[in-house]
A and B are shown apart, each in its own frame.
Chain A
């Protein structure tokens, strides 16, 4: 199976919270990342979490990590139309290793 899995689509209403889920397989991953990609653009680093942390909050973004279940989530509070994009979860193996990406979750925000 895939190394990193995400649901492909999520639709929410403006002002609601969005929760994007991700599962990974390698328990030795050091860091886990969330990136945002808008059409035709590169990837924007949103946030990341070290594997020995459970939670990280940065303004509207909250990352939860359940290392036992290898489950990562990204919560976006007060979702705005500008948050519409594809969100990629990625794991990094080793401090200087490359990233292994999920297929991305397309977030659609309806006014």
Chain B
């Protein structure tokens, strides 16, 4: 089946540093990818929709200058958490769907801990 690879799976960083998370669709092309954030024991909240070759669409309340999204190819989207602070600590998950397909596949997630 379709696979979405997400790296790294876990990252610990100091406050003020930037962290990049990669999301790759391994066996299909994805015009659109989605980035979610999940707090402990809570549901997934959509942060932004990543569109290949164009600017990402951010959900209300999500700072686009803090969460930089780049979707440079049909198989790769990156999320960069800039100047990370402890409140950015969370589980970040990406998802992708084959262009025109109905199935939406998820990466394995990235646990970010900011000290």
Within 8 A of A (CB), among B73-115: 93, 95, 97, 100, 102-109, 111
Within 8 A of A (CB), among B14-69: 31-32, 34, 42-44, 46, 49
Task: Given the known inter-chain contacts A98-B34, A99-B95, please indicate yes or no for A45 contacting B105, CB distance below 8 A.
Answer: yes
Which residue from chain B places its CB closest to the CB of A43 in the assembled complex?
A: B106
A97–B105 alpha-carbon span in the complex (Å): 13
Between A and B, how many residue pairs show CB distances below 8 Å? 51
Task: Given the known inter-chain contacts A42-B6, A98-B34, A98-B49, please indicate yes or no for A103 contacting B106, CB distance below 8 A.
Answer: no
Contact between B108 and A41 (Cβ–Cβ < 8 Å)? yes
Question: What chain B residues lie within 8 Å of A104 (beta carbons)?
Answer: 43
Task: Answer whether residue A59 sits at the interface, using C-beta atoms and an 8 A cutoff.
Answer: no
Contact between B106 and A40 (Cβ–Cβ < 8 Å)? no
11 other A-B residue contacts (CB within 8 Å) besides A92-B104, A96-B31, A99-B95: A30-B102, A35-B106, A40-B109, A40-B111, A42-B106, A43-B44, A43-B93, A92-B102, A95-B102, A99-B34, A103-B42
Report A's interface with B, CB cutoff 8 A.
30-31, 33, 35, 40-45, 48, 50, 88, 92, 95-96, 98-104
